Every structure is written in structure tokens, then in C-alpha cells.
């Protein structure tokens, strides 16, 4: 049985973490997530939702850390997760993390790889690694700062405190907060709407914003210009311009 269940509904892929009881992240789970993301790279998939029940992911499987201590080696789970999150973040289509329950430590780092984070109203998120005497190792200090600001990110990583859904929404860590029984339906409905849009242009936005972030302005503008050139001649660009001139709704095919 896969620890990351892949299901396709039309042009939307749904990936559900499936390692009861709390979806603790392990090397095996990350391997299965990688396989699911590879399936979602299919051009026929135009949006992706990642979720998990009853908790999105309550963090890393700490037993792996103990084994690393005993072996006198550095645990590789953070590196494995960090590599996966980079691949997930770079997926050339819109992605939504639908978070129920806990998204802590590596669970939050996974959610930070998505374009959008939808939280159930009972969700709790945070980077509690400091309470173990360590720090986030799969992008938490970096991506969290880009979402909520450097000072707020530093406070969360240094305190290790858990943030409820209302605060997550207030600080920009959540894009939507929904009742738990509506969360997945809304995420899938929104993903279906994204799937009707110009997928190549969405991918270009991601490429420009991720690739240009932190660069000097001149270099960032070059990244953006290259992404613009890549998308300008696509079928969807031609359709979008034609639809505007003909005063009709565009019908994008994702190409």
C-alpha cells in the first residue's frame, strides 16, 4: 500500500498522505510522495491538491533521529524532504496544500512548498524543531520568511510555538480557513478552476517568482523576461489574446 495515495479527478490530482496515525514523515513516505508528484507531472494534470487526514503531517518520524545519533551520523530525512519540497514547489502547475489537524515541522515545510495553503479551522501549524534542540532542515527558515516576513519567521522558529488557523490567516501563512468538513471540497473546487486556466503561464509565474526572489532587481527582471519569452508564443497566449480581441471568454487548453 502506498503511503501517498494518488487519485485523479479530471484535470486535478489529489495526493493524500497515508501513514497513520499522524502522517509522520519518513523516508518511505517521501519516496511515495515523489512517485505521486511524478504522476502529477502529466500534462493532463493541471492542478494538484495535497492533503492528509486526520492530520496533514505532524512532523518527522523522530525515531530516525535517534538512530542517527546512535550511528554517529547526520539524519538524512531532512535532506530527503528538502529535495522533495523543492521538486513539489517547482511543479509547473498550481498546487494547494489542504491542511487539517497538525502541520508541524516537516509537515509545515511540505505545506510551504505549495502555492496556496488552505487550513481547517481546527488546524495547528508551526516549526517546533527548536524544542528538540535542532532547527528546520527542509526549508522552514527560508520559505516561512518569504511568506510571513523574516522577523515573524524567526520568532516562530525560535519559540517553536504552534499557530492556530486564525493567526495563520492573519499573518498570511494561510490563504483560506474553512470548516474541517468543507476543506477538501473547497480545495478541489478551487483547483478545478485553476485547471481551466493558462497552465503554462502559471508555470512561468512560478519560475519567475521563485527564480528571481532575492536577486538584485536587474537580475530578477532578466529572469522574468526569460519566462515571459517562454510563454509568449504558447497556444494559450494566442487564445487569450484572440479571446480578448473577440470579446469572448478564453478557452485555455494548458499548452
pTM score of the predicted model = 0.94
Distance, CA of 49 to CA of 222 (rounded, Å): 31
- Residue 147: which of 226, 227, 209, 222 has the closest Cα? 209
pLDDT digits over 60-97, tens only?
877 777 776 777 666 688 889 999 999 999 999 999 99
253 has pLDDT over 70: yes
Closest CA to 119 of 176, 59, 171: 176
Coil, strand or helix at 24:
coil
Cell of 156: 516562530
Distances (CA, A) of 118 to 87, 187, 201: 20, 7, 23
Q: Which CATH architecture has domain 4-194?
A: Alpha-Beta Complex (3.90)
Q: What is the DSSP letter of 196?
A: T
β-strands 95-99, 116-120 pairing: parallel
Q: b/e for 25-44, b at 16 or more Cβ within 10 A?
A: bbeebbebbeebbeebeeee
pLDDT attached to residue 74: 64
Supply the residues annotated as catalytic: 109, 129
**Angle (nearest 5°) at CA 84 between 116 and 220:** 60
Q: In which band, very low, low, confident or very high, does the pLDDT at 146 lie, cut at 50, 70 and 90?
A: very high
Amino acid at each position: 500500500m502506498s503511503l501517498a495515495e494518488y487519485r485523479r479527478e479530471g484535470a486535478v490530482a489529489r495526493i493524500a498522505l497515508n501513514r497513520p496515525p499522524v502522517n509522520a514523515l519518513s523516508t518511505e513516505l517521501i519516496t511515495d510522495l515523489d512517485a505521486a508528484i511524478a504522476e502529477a507531472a502529466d500534462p493532463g494534470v493541471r492542478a494538484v491538491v495535497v492533503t492528509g487526514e486526520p492530520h496533514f503531517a505532524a512532523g518527522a518520524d523522530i525515531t530516525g533521529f535517534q538512530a542517527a545519533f546512535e550511528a554517529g551520523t547526520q539524519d538524512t530525512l531532512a535532506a530527503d524532504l528538502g529535495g522533495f519540497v523543492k521538486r513539489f514547489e517547482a511543479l509547473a502547475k498550481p498546487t494547494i496544500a489542504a491542511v487539517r489537524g497538525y502541520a508541524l515541522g516537516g509537515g509545515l515545510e511540505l505545506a510551504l512548498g505549495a502555492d496556496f495553503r488552505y487550513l481547517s479551522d481546527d488546524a495547528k501549524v508551526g516549526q517546533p524543531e527548536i524544542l528538540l534542540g535542532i532547527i528546520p532542515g527542509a526549508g522552514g527558515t527560508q520559505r516561512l520568511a518569504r511568506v510571513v516576513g523574516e522577523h515573524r519567521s524567526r520568532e516562530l522558529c525560535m519559540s517553536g510555538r504552534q499557530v492556530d488557523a486564525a493567526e495563520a490567516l492573519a499573518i498570511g501563512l494561510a490563504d483560506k480557513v474553512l470548516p474541517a468538513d468543507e476543506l477538501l471540497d473547497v480545495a478541489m473546487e478551487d483547483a478545478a478552476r485553476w485547471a481551466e486556466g493558462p497552465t503554462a503561464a502559471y508555470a512561468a509565474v512560478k519560475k519567475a517568482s521563485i527564480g528571481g526572489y532575492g536577486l538584485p532587481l536587474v537580475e530578477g527582471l532578466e529572469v522574468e523576461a526569460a519566462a515571459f519569452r517562454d510563454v509568449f508564443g504558447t497556444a494559450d497566449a494566442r487564445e487569450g489574446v484572440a479571446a480578448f480581441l473577440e470579446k469572448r471568454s478564453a478557452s485555455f487548453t494548458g499548452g
